A = this chain, B = another copy of it.
């Protein structure tokens, strides 16, 4: 890219600010509102700036989803790396499910947009796969592959209820479910 050029961009993190603005709009108003013009306005940059940094709108949306996936993956990874024991890790998983600490409602919305876009956009589909893989890999720091699968399903699915039914989840129930899965599957795993 810049291997045969002598100069860097005049405003180096402009691309990043555009990407961040795109994600904000996608999360708040949906991808159908995230046009060149709305994104440019939000980022406070001229229209031409977007076509300069991104070949087309798809690429820009994809960059926004990549930013989202990287943020969430990093957060999951950190949270689970920090847990010293399997029991602590179980508590982290419960937290991932019930609370806004890790993924707030806005980010959850953006995540739905990402899954929806993954249906027809190959690039976004790759991102979805990566995101799922990495979140399972983080769980893998503490649990067996099978347990990871099951816990991750819970982690993906339960927040859907949280978002649409508005209310807070019953932490006790979530806790029981998480521990039931860990108990049920880790034991089975060890028997093999």
Contacts from A to B (Cβ < 8 Å): 29-33, 97, 109, 112-113, 115-120, 125, 128-129, 132-133, 146, 149-150, 152-158, 160-161, 164-165, 169-170, 173-174, 176-177, 179-181, 183-185, 188
Contacts and interface: CB of A to CB of B under 8 A. Distances in A.
Query: How many copies of this kind of chain does the complex include?
Result: 2
A115 B116 contact: yes
A103 B185 CA distance: 26
A118 B164 CA distance: 8
A157 B154 CA distance: 6
Given A153-B161, A164-B128, A177-B184, A116 B112 contact: yes
B183 A184 contact: yes
Nearest to A33: B120
A129 B177 contact: no
A89 B127 CA distance: 35
A132 B165 contact: yes
